[in-house]
């Protein structure tokens, strides 16, 4: 009986741990019409992205894998890259992106206006999506085992 209660309590601890806030990154800056801002982030699971252009200014948002990010930074152009996700001429984006595998990814923001004298302010927030899969899986497993042990003891 004590083992079953221990498993249930441990499972609840894993449930809480699966929702612990993830490391996040928040950026706000100006980008001129002929420039871009690139952020390289390490992702272990899905990525939550929230970005908006200040004063309803339009921008473009691109998510590239590590190799394409290197090509983009070397060439300064998206021509030889294949973005995993791209949104052009938008004012706001918020969503969870399912990336193909853990690793490094580039988040690129450009102004939709190509005038070099034009500056656009944006606000960007990046974090990992919760719940984390592994602790949540352990929660399900431990709760199931604890429940089975409780039922087994009760009807034995």
Q: What is the per-residue pLDDT across 21-41, written as a single tens digit (0 to 9) for each? A: 666 666 666 666 667 878 888
Q: Are residues 113 and 55 in the same domain?
A: yes
Residue 82: what pLDDT?
93
The CATH number of residue 29's host domain is: 2.60.120.510
What is the DSSP track for 5-33? HHHHHHHHHHHHHHTSPPPEEEEEEEEET
CA distance 129 to 98: 10
Looking at the structure of the chain, the number of domains it has is: 2
Residue 64: what pLDDT?
93
Q: Are residues 124 and 149 in the same domain?
A: no
Domain that includes residue 137, residue range: 1-20+132-156
- Give pLDDT tens digits for 119-142: 667 777 777 666 777 888 888 898
Q: Which residues contact 135 (CB under 8 A, 6 or more apart)?
A: 14, 15, 17, 18
Q: Is residue 17 over pLDDT 70?
A: yes
Q: Are residues 30 and 77 in the same domain?
A: yes
Q: Are residues 116 and 149 in the same domain?
A: no
């Amino acid at each position: 009986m004590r083992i079953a209660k221990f498993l249930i309590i441990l499972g609840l601890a894993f449930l809480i741990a699966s929702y612990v806030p993830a490391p996040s990154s928040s950026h706000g800056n100006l980008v001129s019409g002929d420039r871009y801002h690139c952020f390289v982030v390490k992702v272990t699971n899905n990525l939550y992205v929230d970005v908006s252009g200040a004063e309803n200014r339009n921008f473009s948002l691109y998510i590239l894998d590590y190799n394409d990010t290197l090509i983009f930074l070397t060439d300064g152009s998206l021509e030889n890259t294949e973005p995993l996700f791209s949104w052009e001429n938008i004012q706001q984006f918020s969503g969870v992106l399912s990336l193909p595998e853990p690793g490094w990814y580039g988040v690129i923001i450009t102004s939709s206006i190509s005038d070099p004298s034009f500056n656009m302010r944006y606000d960007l927030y990046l974090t990992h999506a919760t719940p984390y899969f592994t602790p949540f899986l352990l929660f399900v497993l431990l709760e199931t085992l604890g429940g089975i042990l409780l039922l087994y003891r009760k009807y034995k």
